[in-house]
Amino acid sequence: MKKIIACSLALLWNAGCTEPEKVDNVALADKLLLTTKPIKSQIKADGKDTAYLLARLPHDAGVVDVTFTTTGGTFVFSGGSEIKDYADSSDGTYRYATALLKADTIPKQVYVTAEIASVRNRISLTFTK
Amino acid sequence: MRVGSLFILLLGVISANAQDKPLPARNPGSQYVEMDLLHGRIKDDALVPYNVRPLFRAILPEKLDGTLGLQSIDSLSLFYLEGPCPVGLNGSTSKTLEDSKGNSRLVSFTPVTTANWYRPNKTLFGQNDEIMFPWFIKPGQYLQSNKLYCLLVRRFSDPKKEDMYQQTVALRTASKFGDYVKLDFGLGYAYRPNVSTLFASIAIHGYTIAINDDTDLAETFGFWRQIRFRTSLYVGIAPVTLSAGTEQDIRPLTSVGNLVAGIGFRGPFYWPNGKPASTRIRGKFVLQAMRLNAGLFFFSQASANQAIVGNRTKITPYVGLTYDLSLTSLLGPIAKLFGGG
């Protein structure tokens, strides 16, 4: 009986009920994940080809603005190098924001960045001939 | 309305309810019970303290029976019964009583204790016609709350035990709602990796039995009764975080601080040791009022996930060491706001 009580207390004490909070313990992908859908690393540099960008963030982050920026090409709906989209679609675990990037006619490597609060994530895309 | 405000409201309502039902005053500030043997009642119809060993003191009128001063008490018997003291109680444990319709029924009494005194030296009774019955209730015995007892005092005025005087005194114990809830304050420590928090807390403890603060927990009450005297469930607030060894700061969960809840254990370092009560005075006041708590600490903390802005409610186990507070004195002003007292 004493052993059961001691073990129960030890379990309660050590296991706890909540995961410890440490910024270093949280992977970037769990904060803000930026991908293309379907996944690809290059698109044609023909001034027409597009890449569908998907930013994923935790559901608890709420419906926030996700800012997409690019070093090349243009976002279709803004016509510039920056666009914002509400993360208003959710599957219960994550929220999602999207953007559509159109390639330039000049082949090069560009970087696309998504940013919320103090978190940002970046991927590279190559415009190819 | 915020949780903290609700909690304060709850404190006030509990205190108000505790005071809304006035009961006759107990024998003030002591364990003395003064008996009026002439009229067979407790002086001022006061309640008798429960869960303690009261000192019975009889104030005798001059020449109680018109003859001699009281010279000996042959026996003092205490019975527990369901109703008022019956007339003609003679020390046996049962008696046939007639109700208002003339029906007879046998009533049994549960004897609690009996003691005998014989004082051959008349002067022992003192100049004030006062008799003390020290520790008539023996160690380990006590009067339970919300019960009626009957004390039978018998004495013989002559050595042949032919001329007998006897008197019954009804004893009543009663508890109020406030005896089931106690307030305490103290410190709590939640040790978890990246939490390691020291905080001050104030909490309301609820007991399954009425608690008399005068009860000496070092008396022998039996194991399970000790457990019931000592164990409580509580909820409370932790308004002050003294230190937070965390990477993410601890923040108030409500407008009055964080919340705590758990199980309390009163007097964890104060147990029966077989020594006389007079040697335990310091321990009773210092150690008995202490309480060891184990529970959960509900707090607010920023998420380590920087994508999540704002705080999250979190729970972690903690232990605390607290001291009893007087509910009435602390919450009296609040109780008045709610119409109590």
What type of residue is B217? Answer: L
A 36-65 near B (Cβ less than 8 A): 57-58, 60-62, 64
pLDDT band at residue B341 under the 50/70/90 scheme = very low
Tell me what pLDDT residue B176 has: 87
User: Which B residues, 247 through 276, put their C-beta within 8 Å of a C-beta on chain A?
Assistant: 247-248
Residue-averaged pLDDT of chain B: 72
CB spacing of A26 vs B195 below 8 angstroms: no
Cβ-based contacts of B223 with chain A (< 8 Å): none
Cα gap B203→B233, rounded to integer Å: 10
The CA distance from A71 to the nearest CA of chain B, in Å, is 23
- Say if residues A75 and A68 touch (Cβ distance below 8 Å): yes
Length of chain A as a residue count: 129
For residue B208, the tally of other CB atoms under 10 A from its CB is 12
> What is residue B238's predicted lDDT score, i.e. its pLDDT?
94
The helix (run of H) or strand (run of E) holding residue B335 is helix B327-337
Residue-wise pLDDT for A6-60, tens only, equals: 545 554 554 445 555 677 778 888 899 999 999 989 999 999 999 999 999 999 8
- From the list B191, B247, B306, the residue facing A118 with the nearest CB is B306
- Alpha-carbon gap, residue B194 to B268, rounded angstroms: 29
> With a CB-CB cutoff of 8 Å, which residues 113-172 of chain B face chain A?
none
Q: Which residues of A touch B304 (CB under 8 A)?
A: 21-23, 25-26
Question: Which chain B residue is nearest to residue A114, measuring alpha carbons?
Answer: B307
A93 vs B: CB within 8 A: no
Residue of chain A whose Cα is closest to the Cα of B313: A18
**pLDDT attached to residue B117:** 46
Q: What is the pTM of this model?
A: 0.67
Higher pLDDT, B212 or B273: B212
Q: CA of A28: which chain B residue's CA is closest?
A: B305
Strands B75-81 and B110-115: antiparallel
Q: Which of B200, B177, B171, B173 is CA-nearest to residue B58?
A: B171
| % of residues, chain B, pLDDT over 70 | 57
- Between the two ends of chain A, the Cα-to-Cα distance in Å is 75
A125: pLDDT strictly greater than 90: yes
Which pLDDT score, from 0 to 100, does residue B24 have? 40
pLDDT for the residue B95: 59
Contact B304/A23, CB-based, under 8 Å? yes
The 10s digit of each residue's pLDDT in A51-82 is 999 999 999 888 999 999 999 999 999 999 99
Is the bond leading into A38 cis (omega within 30 degrees of zero)? yes
pLDDT in tens, B105-155: 555 555 665 555 444 343 334 444 455 665 566 666 677 888 888 777 766
Task: Report the residue count for chain B.
Answer: 341
Rounded percentage of chain B residues whose pLDDT exceeds 90: 18
- How far is residue A43's CA from residue A104's CA, in Å, rounded to a whole number? 10
Query: Which H/E stretch holds residue A122?
Result: strand A119-128
pLDDT digits (tens, 9 = 90+) for B307-321: 888 788 888 899 999
Alpha-carbon distance B224 to nearest alpha carbon in chain A (angstroms): 16
Distance, CA of B209 to CA of B141 (rounded, Å): 16
Q: Hey, are the CB atoms on B307 and A31 less than 8 Å from each other?
A: yes
Cα B325 to Cα A65, B213, B281: the distances in Å are: 51, 11, 19
Give mean pLDDT, residues A76-99: 92
The residue ranges of DSSP E strands in chain B, in sequence order, are 32-36, 41-42, 55-59, 75-81, 94-98, 104-108, 110-115, 130-133, 148-156, 164-172, 181-190, 197-206, 231-244, 250-251, 258-266, 290-302, 311-325
Top-ranked range on mean pLDDT: pick from A87-91, B17-21, B41-45 = A87-91
Tell me the DSSP string of B163-232: SEEEEEEEEE----GGGTEEEEEEEEEE--TTT-EEEEEEEEEE-SS---TT--TTS---HHHHHHHHEE
* Interface predicted TM-score (ipTM) of this complex, two decimals: 0.73
Of A20, A26, A62, the CB nearest to B193: A20
Number of C-beta neighbours around residue B150 at 10 A:
21
Q: Which of B13-22, B46-55, B141-150 has the lowest mean pLDDT?
A: B13-22
Q: How far off is chain A from B8, nearest CA to CA, in Å?
A: 27
Alpha-carbon gap: A55 to the closest alpha carbon of chain B (Å): 12
